[in-house]
Protein backbone atom coordinates (compact mmCIF):
# COMPACT_ATOMS: atom_id res chain seq x y z
CA UNK A 1 0.00 0.00 0.00
CA UNK A 2 1.43 3.38 -1.05
CA UNK A 3 2.19 5.90 1.66
CA UNK A 4 -0.08 8.92 1.77
CA UNK A 5 1.39 12.27 0.83
CA UNK A 6 1.32 15.22 3.23
CA UNK A 7 -1.58 16.91 1.38
CA UNK A 8 -3.53 13.62 1.50
CA UNK A 9 -2.90 13.25 5.22
CA UNK A 10 -3.91 16.87 5.82
CA UNK A 11 -7.11 16.45 3.85
CA UNK A 12 -8.03 13.31 5.76
CA UNK A 13 -7.47 15.24 9.00
CA UNK A 14 -10.01 17.85 7.92
CA UNK A 15 -7.65 20.57 6.68
CA UNK A 16 -8.29 22.69 3.60
CA UNK A 17 -5.37 22.07 1.23
CA UNK A 18 -4.47 24.72 -1.36
CA UNK A 19 -2.43 24.25 -4.50
CA UNK A 20 0.12 27.02 -4.81
CA UNK A 21 -0.75 29.18 -7.80
CA UNK A 22 1.75 32.03 -7.71
CA UNK A 23 4.23 32.71 -10.52
CA UNK A 24 7.30 31.66 -8.58
CA UNK A 25 6.74 28.91 -6.04
CA UNK A 26 8.36 29.55 -2.67
CA UNK A 27 7.60 29.22 1.05
CA UNK A 28 6.96 32.97 1.14
CA UNK A 29 4.29 32.90 -1.55
CA UNK A 30 2.71 29.77 -0.08
CA UNK A 31 2.38 31.49 3.30
CA UNK A 32 0.87 34.60 1.74
CA UNK A 33 -1.56 32.61 -0.38
CA UNK A 34 -2.68 30.54 2.59
CA UNK A 35 -3.10 33.62 4.78
CA UNK A 36 -5.10 35.48 2.16
CA UNK A 37 -7.38 32.47 1.68
CA UNK A 38 -7.92 32.15 5.43
CA UNK A 39 -8.72 35.85 5.82
CA UNK A 40 -10.85 36.30 2.72
CA UNK A 41 -12.61 32.96 2.32
CA UNK A 42 -12.73 31.61 5.85
CA UNK A 43 -12.92 35.00 7.62
CA UNK A 44 -10.23 33.86 10.05
CA UNK A 45 -9.33 36.11 12.96
CA UNK A 46 -5.95 34.54 13.82
CA UNK A 47 -3.20 33.13 11.61
CA UNK A 48 -0.64 30.51 12.65
CA UNK A 49 2.27 29.77 10.31
CA UNK A 50 3.85 26.31 10.48
CA UNK A 51 6.66 24.66 8.56
CA UNK A 52 5.90 21.14 7.41
CA UNK A 53 9.03 19.60 8.94
CA UNK A 54 8.19 20.52 12.54
CA UNK A 55 6.75 18.46 15.36
CA UNK A 56 4.48 20.26 17.81
CA UNK A 57 3.86 19.80 21.51
CA UNK A 58 0.41 18.51 22.59
CA UNK A 59 -2.38 21.11 22.41
CA UNK A 60 -0.02 23.52 20.63
CA UNK A 61 -2.81 25.26 18.68
CA UNK A 62 -5.26 25.40 21.58
CA UNK A 63 -2.70 26.87 23.99
CA UNK A 64 -1.56 29.49 21.51
CA UNK A 65 -5.08 30.52 20.53
CA UNK A 66 -6.20 30.85 24.17
CA UNK A 67 -4.35 34.16 24.53
CA UNK A 68 -6.50 35.84 21.89
CA UNK A 69 -9.63 34.79 23.78
CA UNK A 70 -8.67 36.04 27.24
CA UNK A 71 -7.04 39.37 26.30
CA UNK A 72 -8.13 41.95 23.73
CA UNK A 73 -4.72 43.62 23.51
CA UNK A 74 -2.76 40.49 22.52
CA UNK A 75 -1.99 40.44 18.79
CA UNK A 76 0.86 37.92 18.61
CA UNK A 77 1.91 34.82 20.55
CA UNK A 78 5.47 33.54 20.73
CA UNK A 79 6.33 29.86 20.84
CA UNK A 80 9.42 28.00 22.03
CA UNK A 81 11.89 26.34 19.65
CA UNK A 82 13.60 23.06 20.38
CA UNK A 83 14.94 20.06 18.45
CA UNK A 84 14.48 16.30 18.48
CA UNK A 85 18.00 15.10 19.26
CA UNK A 86 17.50 11.43 18.45
CA UNK A 87 20.35 11.02 15.95
CA UNK A 88 24.02 11.99 15.70
CA UNK A 89 23.07 14.46 12.97
CA UNK A 90 20.63 16.27 15.25
CA UNK A 91 23.03 16.27 18.20
CA UNK A 92 25.70 17.89 16.03
CA UNK A 93 23.57 20.50 14.25
CA UNK A 94 21.04 21.25 17.02
CA UNK A 95 23.06 21.04 20.23
CA UNK A 96 21.39 23.78 22.28
CA UNK A 97 17.78 24.28 23.28
CA UNK A 98 16.71 27.92 23.00
CA UNK A 99 13.97 27.83 25.65
CA UNK A 100 15.95 29.95 28.14
CA UNK A 101 16.82 32.58 25.55
CA UNK A 102 13.20 32.87 24.50
CA UNK A 103 11.77 33.09 27.99
CA UNK A 104 14.32 35.72 29.00
CA UNK A 105 13.64 37.90 25.94
CA UNK A 106 12.09 41.33 26.11
CA UNK A 107 8.26 41.27 26.18
CA UNK A 108 7.95 42.61 22.62
CA UNK A 109 10.92 40.78 21.13
CA UNK A 110 10.12 39.05 17.82
CA UNK A 111 8.61 35.59 18.20
CA UNK A 112 11.13 32.84 17.51
CA UNK A 113 10.70 31.45 14.04
CA UNK A 114 9.26 29.78 12.03
CA UNK A 115 6.09 29.27 14.09
CA UNK A 116 3.98 32.09 15.48
CA UNK A 117 0.41 33.22 15.91
CA UNK A 118 -0.75 36.60 14.64
CA UNK A 119 -3.98 38.55 14.68
CA UNK A 120 -5.17 38.54 11.07
CA UNK A 121 -5.49 42.32 11.01
CA UNK A 122 -1.74 42.63 11.56
CA UNK A 123 -1.04 40.53 8.47
CA UNK A 124 -3.26 42.79 6.40
CA UNK A 125 -1.53 45.95 7.66
CA UNK A 126 2.01 44.60 7.14
CA UNK A 127 1.19 43.31 3.68
CA UNK A 128 2.38 39.74 4.09
CA UNK A 129 5.81 38.16 3.85
CA UNK A 130 8.37 39.82 1.57
CA UNK A 131 9.54 37.60 -1.30
CA UNK A 132 13.20 37.51 -0.33
CA UNK A 133 13.68 33.89 0.78
CA UNK A 134 16.31 34.05 3.51
CA UNK A 135 14.84 35.32 6.81
CA UNK A 136 11.65 36.53 5.13
CA UNK A 137 9.68 35.34 8.16
CA UNK A 138 11.95 37.32 10.49
CA UNK A 139 11.51 40.49 8.42
CA UNK A 140 7.73 40.09 8.50
CA UNK A 141 7.77 39.39 12.24
CA UNK A 142 9.93 42.43 12.96
CA UNK A 143 7.50 44.64 11.03
CA UNK A 144 4.55 43.13 12.85
CA UNK A 145 6.11 43.61 16.28
CA UNK A 146 7.04 47.21 15.48
CA UNK A 147 3.43 47.83 14.46
CA UNK A 148 2.20 46.13 17.63
CA UNK A 149 4.34 48.35 19.87
CA UNK A 150 3.13 51.51 18.10
CA UNK A 151 -0.48 50.44 18.66
CA UNK A 152 0.22 49.78 22.36
CA UNK A 153 -0.69 46.12 21.95
CA UNK A 154 1.10 43.07 23.35
CA UNK A 155 3.18 40.13 22.13
CA UNK A 156 3.16 37.30 24.67
CA UNK A 157 5.05 34.06 25.13
CA UNK A 158 3.30 30.72 25.60
CA UNK A 159 6.05 28.45 27.03
CA UNK A 160 3.87 25.35 26.68
CA UNK A 161 3.83 25.77 22.88
CA UNK A 162 7.00 24.02 21.79
CA UNK A 163 7.99 23.31 18.19
CA UNK A 164 10.60 20.67 17.52
CA UNK A 165 12.82 20.78 14.45
CA UNK A 166 14.35 17.68 12.90
CA UNK A 167 16.64 16.82 10.00
CA UNK A 168 16.44 13.28 8.67
CA UNK A 169 19.59 13.30 6.57
CA UNK A 170 22.64 15.28 5.49
CA UNK A 171 20.83 15.74 2.17
CA UNK A 172 18.07 17.69 3.92
CA UNK A 173 20.65 19.80 5.73
CA UNK A 174 22.46 20.52 2.45
CA UNK A 175 19.23 21.47 0.68
CA UNK A 176 18.39 23.85 3.52
CA UNK A 177 21.81 25.51 3.31
CA UNK A 178 21.58 25.83 -0.48
CA UNK A 179 18.23 27.59 -0.16
CA UNK A 180 19.56 30.01 2.46
CA UNK A 181 22.69 30.76 0.44
CA UNK A 182 20.74 31.29 -2.79
CA UNK A 183 18.38 33.77 -1.19
CA UNK A 184 20.88 35.61 1.03
CA UNK A 185 21.63 38.36 -1.51
CA UNK A 186 17.96 39.37 -1.98
CA UNK A 187 17.68 39.52 1.82
CA UNK A 188 20.67 41.88 2.12
CA UNK A 189 19.29 44.07 -0.66
CA UNK A 190 15.95 44.19 1.17
CA UNK A 191 17.13 45.04 4.70
CA UNK A 192 20.43 46.78 3.98
CA UNK A 193 23.72 46.31 5.89
CA UNK A 194 22.21 47.33 9.24
CA UNK A 195 19.71 44.49 8.93
CA UNK A 196 22.53 41.96 9.23
CA UNK A 197 23.31 42.81 12.84
CA UNK A 198 21.59 41.41 15.88
CA UNK A 199 19.27 39.03 14.07
CA UNK A 200 18.28 35.76 15.67
CA UNK A 201 18.94 32.46 13.93
CA UNK A 202 16.33 31.14 11.57
Average pLDDT of the segment spanning 101-123: 67
Question: Residue 52 pLDDT > 90, yes or no?
Answer: no
Per-residue model confidence (pLDDT) at position 201 = 38
Per-residue model confidence (pLDDT) at position 110 = 54
Angstrom distance (rounded) from CA 138 to CA 90: 23
Which residues, at least 6 apart from 80, have a Cβ–Cβ distance to it below 8 Å?
98, 99, 102, 103, 112, 157, 159, 161, 162, 163
| Span 6-41, pLDDT tens digits | 788 889 988 888 887 766 567 788 888 999 999 999
| Span 59-104, pLDDT tens digits | 999 999 999 999 889 988 988 877 777 677 666 666 555 554 555 5
Per-residue model confidence (pLDDT) at position 200 = 40
Per-residue model confidence (pLDDT) at position 185 = 61
Per-residue model confidence (pLDDT) at position 102 = 53
Pairing of strands 55-56, 154-165: antiparallel
| Span 125-171, pLDDT tens digits | 888 888 776 677 777 888 888 888 888 898 888 888 888 876 666 66
Average pLDDT of the segment spanning 114-133: 81
Per-residue model confidence (pLDDT) at position 47 = 94
Radius of gyration in angstroms for the set of CA atoms belonging to the chain, rounded to a whole number: 17
Amino acid sequence: MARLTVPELATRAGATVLEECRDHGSPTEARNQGAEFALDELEADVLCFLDGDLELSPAFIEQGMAHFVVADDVVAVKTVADAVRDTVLMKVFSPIEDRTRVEDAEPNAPPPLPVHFFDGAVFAVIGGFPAIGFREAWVFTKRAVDHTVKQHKRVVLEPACIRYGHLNSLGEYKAQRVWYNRTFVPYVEHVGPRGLTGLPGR
